[in-house]
Each structure stands twice: as C-alpha cells, then as structure tokens.
Structure 1
C-alpha cells in the first residue's frame, strides 16, 4: 500500500512538472500571438499528436481539439486523488489488496472520463446557446453588403467564448484559402453540435446555387432559436426529476450520518464486520450506479 501511495505521489509530481512546462509554452505563444487569439487557439503540439495518441484520448474521453476550462493536468490529478481516496477508505474496510487496486483504477478512469465528458457537454451547450446570436450577426453583416468572411471575423472579435474561439480558428483557416462551408462543418466535427452542420449545409447550398443568403440565414436563425428555447424548456421540465435523483443519492449519506450521530453502535456492523463491509460497498455502488443511470435517462429523453 505504501508503494502504491508513493507511485501516486510521483505521478502527481510528474503531472505538475508537465503542467509547468505547458504553461511556459503558452506564455511563449502569447508573446508570439495577440492575447485574444492565443487563448482561443488549440495547441498545435497536441493537434499534431492526435493520431499517435488517438486510442489513449478515446479511452480517457479527451478531445485535443477542444479548449477545456479545467486543464487536463488537473483532471488527471483528480483521478489520482480519487484513487488515493479509495485506497485510504480500504484501510478502514480492509478488503483484499488486489480488489482495492482494481477499484481504485476503475474509479480513477471513471473520474477522468466523467470530468472530460462534463466539460465537453458544457462546451457544446454554450456553443449551442450562442449560435442564434452568431447566425443573426452573420445575417446582419450579409444584409449590409459585406461578405461572409467578414461576418466570421466580426463573430471572432465580438462574440463571447467559446464561439469567438471557434470562429478565430475559422478565420485562420479562411486565410489559408478554404471555403466557408468547409470550415463551419469542421466546427461540427470538432464539437458535435448538430446545428453547425445545418449552418454549413445552408452556406454550401446558397453560395453554390445562388439566392438570398440573408433570408435563408434568417430562417435558420429562427429555427435554431426555437431549438434553443425548446431545449431550455425540456431541461426545466426535467428539473424535478434531476432534483429527485440528487436527493435519492444524498439520502443514504444523510440518514447514515444521523444514525451514526444518534447511535454509533448501529453503524459499527457496516464498518468493522467483513459482511457489513461487503454490504456497505454493495450499497455505495448501487447508489452511484443508480444516480448515473437516472442522469443518462434524463439526458437521452431531453436531447433534441
């Protein structure tokens, strides 16, 4: 157990060292590029290694082409700390060492995948909510007689994050000679927001066949706005179920704490008896699995 804890501490120190090195490279990038653009661009070094580390990224649920507000090194540290917490709890429950090691590894992987997935969903949700304003800005720019490329530059300058960051990448690719519909479609491929695919198809059809691009974009903006409002209403209607799932998850902890405070001997069986330890582990796993199953069902039923 001491060897495992030492290895975890060594891994934490190594991740902090790598984070310090990455911060130094980011500072050098900020010197070379304007501050507004450097914060929104994806690391070129990570993008170049995507194919090499593709399996590891998929295992960790990590997308190198998305800017995470919680740095990946901190996510890895959270996984290491969760594994250490499992090993520490095992000192009280006294399960066999190999069982504790397997449980610590599983918990660490689930924590890392969960944090990356949660950030990616939050990133996509922010893009989805800001898309109607972005489409409206493109429509107003096109109506004034300016090209679509200038509308994208305006979005990169005036829209909040993360939309401005994605369109900063779009402007960089437009400067290399790519077409507007291709770069907008790549936003969909990077983020998974289906409305950007609709945006790309609209641009492709109108720019190649002709017609009133402003009218089509206005219709698209109204459609996307209705989808955003519908998603917000579905989330509001599911609020009662979300609160119930959280209450059901926290109820065993609250009831167990109250019982231990009133009569500690009633909980001793779960903490100091081998069969009680098995029951406690089974109950904890059941509660956690039930919580995530309910969240998955809510997410599936409220998805557009």
Structure 2
C-alpha cells in the first residue's frame, strides 16, 4: 500500500512539474511566437506598402516609360521592314499587288527609254532598277515623312483640347471625339479610327497601339505611354498630358533651331553632291565628242561606274554628317 501511495504522490509531483514547465513556459513561448509573427506580418505589410509606394515614384515611372519606349522601338523597327506598314505610314490603301504592278511598269518604261537614248544595256538595267525598285519606295518614304510632319505639328493642340476637356469634367473618350471632329487630316481621321476601335469594344491602350502602327512618331508613342502608365498607377492625367504638351512644343522648337543651324551644311552638301554629275551633263551637251568615249568605250564605262560608286559613298557620308537626330 505504501508503495502505491508513494508512486501516486510521485506521479502527482512529476505531473505538476511537467505542467508547470510545459503549460506556463509554453504559453510564454507561444505568446512570444505570436508576437514575433505579428511583428513579422507588420514588417512585411510595411515593406509591401513601401514597395507599392516606390512603384509610384517618379523614378519608377521613368523606368516604366523607358522600358515601354524600348519595346515600342523594337516593334516599330520590325514593322518598318514590311511593305504593308510602309503603305499605311504613307496614308495609302495597303494593296501590295497594285504597288508591285505600278513599280514593274515604271521600271520597264524607264529601262526602255534609257536603252533607246543611250544604247547601253547596263545603263538601261540600272535605270530600270532605280525607277522600278528605288523610286516607289522613296516616294512612300516622302509621303510618310510629310504625313508625320503634319501630324506632329498639330498634335500638341490635340493634347491641349484633351486637357481642357478633362479639367472641365468631360471623359477622355469625349475629348477624343472632339479631336476627331475639329482637327484636320491626318490627325482627325486617325483619331476617328481610334474612336471606332473603342466603339467596337477594343481597349484604349490597344487602340492607341494600333494607331502607333499607322503613325509611328515619337510624340504619339509618348502619348500612348502616358495613358498606359496613368491607367496602371493612377495620377492626375490632365497634369501629365499638360507636361507632355509642353515637352512636345519644346521638341519642335529644338527641331527648328537645329534645322536653322544646319541649313548651311545641308546646302553645301547638296551643292557638292550635284556638282560633278551636273558638270558632266553640261560638257556632254556642249561637246558630245569629248565625253563620248566614257559612254562607248568599256574602260570609260568602268570609270563611270567607279565614279558613281565613290559619289554614292561621299553622298551617304555627308548625309550621315548632317542628319541630326532629336
């Protein structure tokens, strides 16, 4: 009996000591763990809020804008390689079959005319290639550059209209409709297509991307990126667009200043490039016998070919020197 009593008392003492060690200490450890978890959760929440706040800082927005600019430039470079995109940039109906028919017809006519006048097959082949392949693409580039220049000249006015509409309480879509109605071509029709894409359910960002494909200008890319950043991070859209309008006008003033400062170099390059062939044509008209061997003798043809190659290299070098990017 004494053995059972001693065993029972020992069990009670050991159970009490164990409960004290596990229960009291465990509750304190559990409390400390809960406090640590709470502190860790608060720290994580603060870090998350700090990252969220940092993502809206001007530096982060600038990084996002630079990233989107690089992506848009890569897409633009790929789009410039296709003939369909060139036709769209020029404001023409993208009909590649018709373009090739007219190009081939123009090349054949030019080759026949040069062959009848000079009786030199090599010159006729060069003229056919120049007028059948080079001239149509040069004309597309000329139309595209003229159209982009007109678009850029009145684009700050369109942004000002949109800013005034936003400040007066109008939605962005209503401001885009006003731009499409009030401003002339090519800006008005482009914004009309933008409104039509939005009306059929396409998002504003996607509609602006389609518009950039038709009009690949840096100013329109800036506008697209500002709208996209504002939709993701929020902010005062009227203030952002107002700053963009001031930047675009400053770019235009800088462009005109560079054009005025480089006008002398451009005129000198044009004179130097036109002078050798002009003098050669003048001598041939006034004294055909003096320039005749260059056209009839194979050695003269080789000399003309070498002169043309060197002239082309010089013209490209001068173009590189006077072509300022801004």
TM over 0.5: same fold? yes
Aligned match of 1:303:
325
Deviation string, structure 1 residues 182-207 (Cα, Å, up to 9, x no partner): 32233223322122222122222334
Residues 126/74 of structure 1: CA separation in 2 closer, same or farther (3 Å cut): same
Deviation string, structure 1 residues 65-96 (Cα, Å, up to 9, x no partner): 65139x98589646633443244324455445
Unmatched segments (≥5 aa) in structure 2: 1-77
The Cα shift of 1:127 comes to 1.9
In the alignment, is the contact (CA less than 8 A) between 1:68 and 1:120 conserved in 2? no
In the alignment, is the contact (CA less than 8 A) between 1:182 and 1:200 conserved in 2? no
Paired residue for 1:80, among 105, 108, 112?
Answer: 105
How many Å separate the matches in 1 of 2:233 and 2:194?
A: 23
How many Å separate the matches in 2 of 1:273 and 1:200?
A: 60
In the alignment, is the contact (CA less than 8 A) between 1:93 and 1:272 conserved in 2? no
Paired residue for 1:181, among 194, 201, 205?
Answer: 205
Deviation string, structure 1 residues 197-242 (Cα, Å, up to 9, x no partner): 2212222233444332211111111011111221222222222222
Residues 86/277 of structure 1: CA separation in 2 closer, same or farther (3 Å cut): farther
- Of the structure 1 ranges 177-186 and 220-229, higher mean CA displacement relative to structure 2 is found in 177-186
How many Å separate the matches in 1 of 2:278 and 2:129?
A: 27
Aligned match of 1:119:
143
SS in structure 1 at match of 2:319: helix
How many Å separate the matches in 2 of 1:182 and 1:74?
A: 29
Asked if 1:212 corresponds to 2:231, the answer is no
SS in structure 2 at match of 1:125: helix
Aligned match of 1:268:
292
Residues 293/79 of structure 1: CA separation in 2 closer, same or farther (3 Å cut): farther
The Cα shift of 1:288 comes to 4.5
Q: What TM-score, normalized by structure 2, do the two folds share?
A: 0.64
1:1-304 counterparts in 2 under 5 A? 58=82, 62-64=86-88, 67-68=91-92, 77=102, 80-91=105-116, 93-96=118-121, 100-101=124-125, 104-105=128-129, 107-288=131-312, 290-299=314-323, 302-304=324-326
Greater relative CO, 1 or 2 (CA 8 Å, sep 6+):
1
Aligned match of 1:27:
none
- Of the structure 1 ranges 74-83 and 136-145, higher mean CA displacement relative to structure 2 is found in 74-83
Deviation string, structure 1 residues 97-126 (Cα, Å, up to 9, x no partner): 6x8547623552112222212222222222
Residues 121/142 of structure 1: CA separation in 2 closer, same or farther (3 Å cut): same
**Number of aligned residues:** 247
Residues 109/296 of structure 1: CA separation in 2 closer, same or farther (3 Å cut): farther
Deviation string, structure 1 residues 40-62 (Cα, Å, up to 9, x no partner): xxxxxxxxxxxxxx99x826873
RMSD over aligned CA atoms reads 3.4
In the alignment, is the contact (CA less than 8 A) between 1:249 and 1:291 conserved in 2? yes
SS in structure 1 at match of 2:86: coil
In the alignment, is the contact (CA less than 8 A) between 2:91 and 2:144 conserved in 1? no
List structure 1 runs of 4+ shifted beyond 6 angstroms.
none
In the alignment, is the contact (CA less than 8 A) between 2:107 and 2:133 conserved in 1? no
SS in structure 1 at match of 2:151: helix
